[in-house]
Amino acid sequence: MSADPVRLSAWVHGMVQGVGFRWWTRARALELGLTGYARNHRDGRVHVIAEGPRDACESLLDLLRSGTTPGRVNLVVEDWGPAVGGMTGFEER
């Protein structure tokens, strides 16, 4: 398996705005050593972009689907690609 960093794009559907979801996601991503952001979307979804090792991104994805997040996650739609870079830390946007 390649050690090259990857980019996870995850659209999180459910009751995930106004409940501390982005803050929680940021904390988990930083614990995993990932860079990126979590951003509210006008339609009520949260878009999570995370870059780093594939196993760390998969761990974040598992956490997003775990049922332990703030609010209620109904669906997470994921997309994978190579890391783009240029980000430092993990932001709530």
- Determine the pLDDT at residue 68: 94
**Which pLDDT value is given to residue 3?**
77
| pLDDT at res. 57 | 98
Q: Can you tell me the mean pLDDT for 8-24?
A: 97
- Note the pTM of the prediction, 2 decimals: 0.95
pLDDT exceeds cutoff 90 at 30: yes
Quick check: 11 and 76 in contact, CB under 8 A? yes
The residue among 74, 58, 62, 68 whose CA lies nearest residue 24 is 68
Residue 18 has pLDDT above 60, yes or no: yes
> What's the chain's average pLDDT?
96
pLDDT band at 2 (very low <50, low <70, confident <90, very high): low
H helices within the chain, ranges in order? Answer: 21-31, 54-64
Give percent of the chain above pLDDT 70: 98
Give the residue numbers marked as catalytic.
Answer: 22, 40
